[in-house]
Structure 1
Amino acid sequence: MSPLPAPDSVEDLEIALLLEGLFQRYHYDFRRYARASIKRRLVQAREQMGYATLSALQDAVLHDPGMLPRLLGYLTVQVSEMFRDPSYFRALRETVLPHLRTYPSLKVWVAGCSHGEEVYSLAILFREEGLYDRTLFYATDINPEALRIAEAGVYPLDRVRTFTENHQKSGGRSSLSDYYTADYGRAVFDKSLRSRVVFSDHSLVTDAVFAEMQLISCRNVMIYFDRALQDRAIGLFRDALPRNGFLGLGAKESLRFSAHADAFGEFVREEKIYRKRAA
């Protein structure tokens, strides 16, 4: 990895040292995240955790591993919803799943799964289309607390109205209420939806490909990476996909400037769904 640019201020130096410390001490690598975004999140963490400087925050985190999960909550983005961008899921339903239906077995990777909304959305979609029982889903994230929440499958009940509207707009063939029970202000999603889901810690920054996938969905994750890290992630996706495998990105993400762009062709342009070309 090439050296980081020289800092423009004391605060920038503190950020560089804190990120290097996190990597050396805990092996979490945020050094190639988009600097403006990571700076904003670290400043927010410093203020809300009650430290006068980022150096003081660094000292506390490096000496107290118990503080790491709290800091990770600021550094990793955990904002999502079920069937977010319904047209994306409609495009999967109408144009991608007809191709996946020809496979006897399927593997789907949700990279950066956050609190699990997207993997549950895909599980419901695949169940509605008759593909769930032949599919293994991998839901990965670098934040252990996010993975714990994802595996529990419990969300505030006041979010379910949005989830339901999104599901209907995505072309849902059932009622979302078929998949959860209401319990003391919470929506508890059915355990059967995660019977074929593997929740696992995985970093797009430092880890390698772990299986061949027919579909990878990594949405609204790479917008927080710098160009070099985006290329690394896309290279992982290229290596994980077989010929004609599918990759879905977020609305503000693109392969246009990637060194790996030639490995993919646009499949549904407006929904940022790509298909891996033949070698």
Structure 2
Amino acid sequence: MDVSELESIEMDLLVQAMQKRHGYDFSQYAPASLKRRAHLLANQLECKSLTGLTERMLHEPELLSRLLEGLTVPMSDMFRDPAMFRALRDQVFPLLASYPHINIWQAGCAHGQEVYSLAILLEEAGLYERTQIFATDLSDRALQRASDGIYPAQEAQQWSRNYQAAGGKRSLADYCSAGYKLLKLNQRLRRNVTFAVHNLATDGVFCEAHLILCRNVLIYFSNSLQNRALSLFRDSLVRAGFLCLGVRENMDLSPVAQAFVPFIDPERIYRLASHLDDLVE
């Protein structure tokens, strides 16, 4: 048996053990990406092999949050892909403004940078007071960092450029304070945000939403898990609701695609197609 075959067995055992020990199902995640992250995690935890990582996972339950964060890659930036945020501000928010109350679901929120980006633009658009943002992730550890809203100050210049490119009306410094090489987002941005654990691989509809963002998450899923997540989003959206994916993601090959129409194609913003004859040219 060669090394690659042995590693495949070790990876299968790790995935099975995670599901049986902790109830988290990674069986439908993209295998190559999951394997890379598992090896990186094993190195960080000084495990000699994936089998060693499995053994520690089974016998050290306190490692669960670290494992989930490592396997799910919680990465993001403030106003990541500014053109998408500008499209939300200029073309989606004016349509959401017709609702007396707005629910937004940020699925796979990672460390929360995009959540606070949304809150800032909603506040500047005069919509935040009647908006509730539900920010979910698989990892408790990632959610805690998101809730804290504290980030390395070295990111500030790039985030400020992103904010301006997204159509920000003020200065990003108006929304945070700096000290000890850290940035802390103003807690007022968190007042209408609920952080919660949700697993796109196993859990059901989380809320009824007018806008759902799930960006740079589906690229780590297998086709079947992508379809499951897209089905959840379809079932969660109100009539004529909006879905935003990452710029490297699309639903073209998914059977769920027929439920949506492209709204702003370059930025991967879709609109629920059911009962939307008036939206189809």
Give the TM-score normalised by the residue count of structure 2. Answer: 0.95
Give distance in 2, aligned partners of 1:203 and 1:85.
25
Say which is worse superposed, 47-56 or 250-259, in terms of deviation.
Answer: 47-56
What is residue 179 of structure 1 aligned with on the other side?
Answer: 175
Give distance in 2, aligned partners of 1:44 and 1:186.
26
Aligned length: 273
Say which is worse superposed, 50-59 or 123-132, in terms of deviation.
Answer: 50-59
Task: Select 1:230's aligned residue among 219, 226, 229.
Answer: 226
Quote the offset at 1:127 in angstroms.
Answer: 0.3
Give distance in 1, aligned partners of 2:23 and 2:147.
23
What is residue 124 of structure 1 aligned with on the other side?
Answer: 120
SS at match of 2:132: strand
Q: Deviations over 1:185-234 (max 9, x none)?
A: 11111111000000000010011112210000000000000000000000
SS at match of 2:255: coil
Give the TM-score normalised by the residue count of structure 1. Answer: 0.96
Quote the offset at 1:237 in angstroms.
Answer: 0.1
Task: Select 1:240's aligned residue among 236, 241, 257.
Answer: 236
Q: Does 1:16 align with 2:12?
A: yes
SS at match of 2:160: helix
Q: Does 1:37 align with 2:33?
A: yes
Quote the offset at 1:8 in angstroms.
Answer: 6.6
Q: Does 1:95 align with 2:91?
A: yes
Quote the offset at 1:180 in angstroms.
Answer: 0.7
Give distance in 2, aligned partners of 1:70 and 1:273.
32
SS at match of 1:137: strand
What pairs with 1:19-98 in structure 2 (closer than 5 Å)?
Answer: 19-98=15-94
Aligned-pair Cα RMSD in Å: 1.2
Quote the offset at 1:69 in angstroms.
Answer: 2.0
Structure 1 runs (4+) greater than 3 angstroms displaced: none
Question: Is the Cα–Cα contact under 8 Å of residues 111 and 142 in structure 2 kept in the other structure?
Answer: yes
Q: Deviations over 1:132-177 (max 9, x none)?
A: 0000000000111100000001111111111110000001111111
Can you give the 5+ residue segments of structure 2 that lack an aligned partner in the other structure?
276-281
Q: Does 1:161 align with 2:191?
A: no
What is residue 109 of structure 1 aligned with on the other side?
Answer: 105
Q: Deviations over 1:13-53 (max 9, x none)?
A: 11011111101110111111000000111111222322222
Give distance in 2, aligned partners of 1:185 and 1:113.
23
Give distance in 1, aligned partners of 2:69 and 2:136.
16
SS at match of 2:247: coil
What pairs with 1:200-239 in structure 2 (closer than 5 Å)?
Answer: 200-239=196-235
Quote the offset at 1:60 in angstroms.
Answer: 1.4
What is residue 197 of structure 1 aligned with on the other side?
Answer: 193
Give distance in 2, aligned partners of 1:123 and 1:60.
39
